Amino acid sequence: MFLATGMATGNVGKPPDSIPIERKSTTGTGTGTDLQPDSVATPDITGASGTSATNLNGFHFDKCDEEVATAFSVYCGISIMHALVHKQVQKAEARYKLSQELLLYHMKVPDTEVNHALDAVKEPDRNQEELYHRFPRFDFCPRDVRDYSLSVQLAMRMFYDLDFVGTFKIHEYKLARFVLLVQKGYRDTPYHNWWHAFSVAHFAYSLMKNLRLIERGIIT
């Protein structure tokens, strides 16, 4: 009864008086209420001198005690949550730094690859003459290339063929390194990968080349 009343009113503490509890008579004469034990739900905690440790000013918790306990519990909850969130943030930062280091490691472009790409553009392979001839056409499928090094060479040829290198004074070495960095920066995902970017660039190149968009002043 006292616990139900305390939960309903919010006043949970030691009951002011002992609560009578019905019990079966040990003599078989029925039931009675002569046994009146103290509540075991909220017993007093007393020190060696007999002083109450739960409430030094009295036997019951007042409104101020409830507010102090509520404020302290909220503070403890916020502190625990802050510690857990801070730990999760530290783990996320560690994973981010590791992924960035791995990404930068794999995106490094050696000078040998840059020089190889430049040499391949300046001295094209004669076995690929038919490919170079069909490359500006609309019916050319960029995904048929399938060779990363050859696709990098063709991407660089777009800049040369449209005279972007001379018009914008692009350094050839920086152009080769830029194209290689873009190629290495793409992940091998099903759609947004290097071949998708290469196909989009080829379509834009074919439009400008076949429709003469630059010569006609449509693109400046």
* Distance between CA atoms of residues 67 and 53, nearest Å: 18
Q: Which of 129, 201, 125 is nearest to 162 (CA)?
A: 201
Q: Which among 110, 90, 108 is positioned nearest to 98, based on CA atoms?
A: 90
Closest CA to 65 of 17, 1, 12: 12
| The pLDDT of residue 17 | 47
Rg over CA atoms, the chain: 41
Name the amino acid, one letter, at 37. P
For 186, phi and psi rounded to 5 degrees?
Answer: -80, 135
* DSSP assignment letter at 22: -
Tell me the H-state helices in 135-193.
Answer: 148-161, 164-167, 172-185
pLDDT at 134: 94
Quick one: tokens of 61? 């918790």
Residue 100 has a pLDDT of 84
Task: Report pTM.
Answer: 0.56
Q: 175: which 2 tokens?
A: 């152009």
Q: How far apart are CA 198 and CA 183, in angstroms?
A: 9
Give the sign of the dihedral formed by CA 88, CA 91, CA 93, CA 99: negative
Active-site residue numbers? 192
- Look at the alpha carbons of 122, 125, 131, 133 in this order and tell me if their dihedral is positive or negative: positive
DSSP letter, residue 14: -
Q: Give the Å distances, CA to CA, from 178 to 86, 108, 185, 193, 208.
A: 39, 11, 10, 16, 22
pLDDT of residue 48: 53
pLDDT number for residue 106: 73
pLDDT in tens, the chain (220 residues): 444 444 445 554 444 444 444 444 444 454 454 444 444 444 455 545 554 455 555 567 788 988 999 999 999 999 999 999 999 999 999 999 888 887 777 778 999 999 999 999 988 888 888 899 999 999 999 999 989 999 999 999 999 999 999 999 999 999 999 999 999 888 888 888 999 999 999 999 999 999 999 999 998 8
pLDDT of residue 126: 82
Rounded Cα–Cα distance for residues 162 and 141 (Å): 19
Distance, CA of 55 to CA of 52 (rounded, Å): 6
